[in-house]
Every structure is written in C-alpha cells, then in structure tokens.
Chains A and B, each alone.
Chain A
Amino acid sequence: MATRARLGVGFALLLLIAAPWVLPTAWLLVLENALVLALFAAATNLLVGWTGLVSFGQAAFYGIGAYTVALAWLHGIAPFWLAFPAAPLIAGLVALLTGAIALRARKLYFALLTLAFSELFYVLAEQLYDITNGANGIFGAMVPDLLVSPRPGFYFTLAVVTAALALLHRICHSPFGLALQAIRERRVRAEALGLAVAHHELAAFTLSGAFCGLAGALYVVHDQTAYPELLDWVKSGEPVIVAVIGGISSFAGPLWGALFYQIAHDALVVLTRDWQLVLGALLLLVVLFRPGGIVSLFPGREEG
C-alpha cells in the first residue's frame, strides 16, 4: 500500500473507533450495516472484479453463514462462539462443492448456475420447516447479550470486518491475486503460461464464499435473526450492485460502494417506497458514464 492509502485507512479506522461515542445509536446501526455490506461486497468482488467471474449467487453463502449461527442456537448444536467461526468454514465448504459444478460453465451460464444454486438454497430454507422454521425465519437470543448492546456489538463487527478485509486485501495483492487478475484479463493465455486456471477459479470461489459466509454470520450479530430471503437472488444482486457502484477494479471500490449504498438506502426508504427505482437509475448512470465507479471520481487515486 502506498503511504497515502495507509494514512487513509488509519484515519478511517480512527473515525470508526470514535463513532460509538459521537453518533446516535440509530446511526451507529447504519454504519454497522455498512460494515457488513462492505465485507459482503469485497468478498463478492474477489470474483467479479478480480477474477472476472460474475456470480449472482453469493447470497447463498451469506445466508448459509447466517443460518449456521441461527440453527446452531435453535437446535442447541453449538454455542455462539463455536458457531460463529464455523460459519465461514461451512459456507466455504458449500462454495467449494457448488463452485465445482457452476465453474464448469462459462460467463452467462456460470452466472445462471450460481443464481440457480442461490434459489435452491432459498427453497430449502423455506421448505424444510421442521429444521428452519420455514418462511417464518428464526428469531431469538442467539447472540450473547454482550454483543447485543450497541457499542460492544459495533466494536465486535468492526474488529471482525477489519481483520477479514485485511486478509482479503492480502489475498488480492498476493501472487494468487495476480493470477486471478490474469485469468480475468485473458483466461486462455494464463492457461498457456502453465497456470492451472480451473483450480484457481475454484479456490477464488471457495474463498469468496467463506468471506460471504462470515458477512452473513455478522448479519445475525446485528439483527439476531435468519430468514430465507437472506439466500435469494435479490440479496445476491446486492453485493454486485454495491461493488459496481463503488468500482470493481480497485479493492477500495466495494467499501465506498457499501457506505454510499447503505446511507442512500436508509435515506431513500424514508422518502419513497420506490427506492429501488432510484438505485436502478443510479446503477445505470454508473455503468454508462462512470464504469470505474465512485473511486474513479477521486483525483489521482491509484488502482488496487
């Protein structure tokens, strides 16, 4: 990271650490939501922006992360502190299995297969009533009391998201991350140079799924609930839209996108029921006129 970027990250962290002492609780919850969304979008962007694989099924792993925590509580399988770290592992495992199938197809067909898996898990969550409470979802005291109160809850989320983003950043800028970019740029050439492209794509898909699962588990910390809509394709579209608005070709893009999206969403839902219409128009404007997203508006900002 360049010195300027380091300073920026340090400053942002300071602001976030100070936030619980200056912001009203309602705002704090908006920020907490934005943090979770930022992780969800950055994890998705490992596929979309870095590897060039557009997945419309990342909510499946987000939802699986959320349900891991909720189901462990509902059925008394494991305490929170065991279920929470298990969430990204289980989501990653499911991503490994579904990715092995979805990645057999390319481009549009890959996107459609990921969407199909997302819907499959959605239907399972809704239909397996005895296990999941079906469409009613799972509510209750599934999160330790400590984390339910606003400040510790916020700091927990901040700590987990920061650590996860640091790890993701490291992955994106490692030789492995470079290999993913080469696959995005020219898959055939990457293969001709001796790269086992299929293995790398599957590894990226698995990692992305695990981080999406972690974001889903954090959602439960925030809302103490899990319900089938967390897994459906509308939810899957969210991190893709956030990443595109923020800028998919830089690591910071999805993070800015998440902050912008969350604030815009929370402001718009108060004003109009058709907030998605506004969002859609905005997305269209970004794609047509600013394909680099929000980060491309910052002067002199380097990519990556």
Chain B
Amino acid sequence: METLLDVAGLVKRFGGFAAVDGVSFEVAEGSIHAVIGPNGAGKSTLFRLLTGFHAPTAGTIRLAGRDIAGLAPHRIARLGLAQSFQITTVFPKLSVREQVAFALIAQSPTPWRMLGGLVRVLGGQGVMAEVETLLAEVGLAEVAERRAEALSHGDQRALDVALALATRPRLLLLDEPTAGMSPFETERMVAMIQRLAGARRLTVLFSEHDMDVVFSISERITVIHRGRVIAEGDAASVQADPEVAEVYLGSAA
C-alpha cells in the first residue's frame, strides 16, 4: 500500500520540555491506524502538529508526498487532512444542516468563494444535496433542523465527524472519538468509522483510550510514551510487546 502520511523526526519543545521528541511513523493509504499511549504521552500535541495548530520545532510531516509541517490549519485542511476534535467543537447555535452546509462551502477556493457567497443564496447551490447525503451517512438526517447545542453527546460527536467529512478529506484524524460515550454510543461510533473507511476509502488515524476499540478496528497501532514511539505493529504484536505492557501497567494507577 502507498504511504499517505509520512512523519519523520518530529519534535515539539515547549521551553525545555519536549512533548514530542523525535516521532517517526507512516500511515498507509486506506488503513485504520491508531496512536495510543498513556496520558501525557504526547498524542494531543502530535495531533496539533499534524493539523497545524502547533508549528514543529523540527522534523517533517508529508501528506501524499507534500511537506505540510508548519502550514496554517486551513491550508492543511485544504490539502486533505481533516480532524474531529477530542472536545466536541461543533457550532452550538447553528442548525445541524447549516453547519454541514458551511463546512462544504468552506471548501471552495477563496477569494472567489467569498464573492460568490455575496451574490448567491444558500439554497441555490448544489451543496444542499451533498449536505443531505452526509447527514444520512452519519445518521443525523432526522435532527437536521436542530441546533447543535440541543443534540445528545453521541449526536454531537457524529456531527463533529460529519463536519470533518465535509472537507472531503483523504486522511481523517479522530482525537479520542469515543471519549465520554456510553457503550451504545461507542458501538455506533465504531460502526460508523468502519463504514466510512470502507465506503469512502478513507484513511483514518485516531487516538483512543478504549483498548477494546483500538484492538478491534485498527490495522496498525503506534504506541507513544513520553514523546517517543516505543512500539508499532498490528494488534497482536503490540499486545505482546513487553515494553507496552510495562508502560500501561506502570501508569495504570
């Protein structure tokens, strides 16, 4: 398989502290790839580097061969890397339909888009059909008129993913997609991730605390501890790795 994301020698220092300390790994196109590690391992910082919300101190991040390290978040999004956030960050006072439409509209290139936006009304654009497709895909068609703030937690997470999908990404980054979810909601989210990866031929990179989820859907797992990669492989080899076991047992308290 082709490599879609190639991270090499990535470092992020905050003052003297290296939150990410020389991380290298590759994500194959079309795969579901997990990044795991105990709290404070550097996963969130790593994701913020990938999405452009932090600039790396050193190293390269190649998305389909192009170095995206240090680019602005909206540029990276345009290049095909979308993310769903750990803390749900939908738009509270916009309706479900409105914000998915916005996410789609945000994809057309500036500045023409802006001018087009002034003279064209929303309903007149071809995006509305795509909005409905997306809403059906994540199971939100029935609550399309509701404001996001009135949705359940599980629906908000689904909306969060829908927003990310609207950017037509090649790589979808999910930061703890099942955090705070009930078992039922978790099951629904896992099924959705698998369905999307299959139907859209999407590459998914995610971080997760729920090991059942990690081991059930990941084709490849990268384990991070104290800003470094300590193991990588499929579910079986990672589970058998003594260093991984030690890290998790050691931090279990």
Residue numbers of A with Cβ under 8 A of B are 170-171, 173-179, 181-182, 185-186, 188-197, 199-200, 203, 249
For the side of the interface on B, what is the size category? 35 or more
Chain B 54-85 interface 0/1 with A at a Cβ cutoff of 8 Å (1 = within) = 00000000000000000011100110001101
Flag whether B94 is at the interface (Cβ < 8 A). yes
Flag whether B118 is at the interface (Cβ < 8 A). yes
- Please indicate the chain B residues that have their CB under 8 angstroms from the CB of A195 in the complex: 74, 106
- Please indicate the chain A residues that have their CB under 8 angstroms from the CB of B119 in the complex: 170, 174
Give residues 87-118 of B contacting A (CB, 8 Å): 89-94, 98-99, 101-103, 105-107, 110-111, 113-114, 116-118
**Which listed residue (A178, A191, A203) contacts B101, Cβ 8 A?**
A178
Of all chain A residues, the one with the shortest Cβ separation from B103 is: A193
Flag whether B167 is at the interface (Cβ < 8 A). yes
- Shortest CB-to-CB span from A227 to chain B, Å, is 34
Contact A188 B118 (CB under 8 A): no
Contact A171 B106 (CB under 8 A): no
Contact B106 A194 (CB under 8 A): yes
- Shortest CB-to-CB span from A89 to chain B, Å, is 16
Flag whether B122 is at the interface (Cβ < 8 A). yes
- Please indicate the chain A residues that have their CB under 8 angstroms from the CB of B91 in the complex: 181-182, 185-186, 189-190
Residue numbers of B with Cβ under 8 A of A are 51, 53, 72-74, 77-78, 82-83, 85, 89-94, 98-99, 101-103, 105-107, 110-111, 113-114, 116-122, 125, 163-164, 166-167
Kindly state the separation between the CA atoms of A177 and B120 in the bound complex, as whole angstroms.
Answer: 11
Contact A185 B106 (CB under 8 A): no
- Shortest CB-to-CB span from B43 to chain A, Å, is 17
**New A-B contacts (9) at CB < 8 Å, excluding given A182-B102, A189-B89:** A174-B122, A179-B102, A181-B91, A186-B91, A189-B163, A190-B102, A192-B51, A193-B163, A199-B110
**Which listed residue (B77, B94, B117) contacts A182, Cβ 8 A?**
B94
Given known contacts A193-B163, A194-B77, A199-B114, is B122 in contact with A173 (CB within 8 Å)? yes
- Please indicate the chain A residues that have their CB under 8 angstroms from the CB of B51 in the complex: 192
Contact A176 B74 (CB under 8 A): no
Contact A176 B117 (CB under 8 A): yes
Given known contacts A179-B105, A182-B94, A185-B94, is B163 in contact with A170 (CB within 8 Å)? no
- Please indicate the chain A residues that have their CB under 8 angstroms from the CB of B78 in the complex: 194
Contact A191 B121 (CB under 8 A): no
Contact B114 A194 (CB under 8 A): no
- Shortest CB-to-CB span from B100 to chain A, Å, is 10
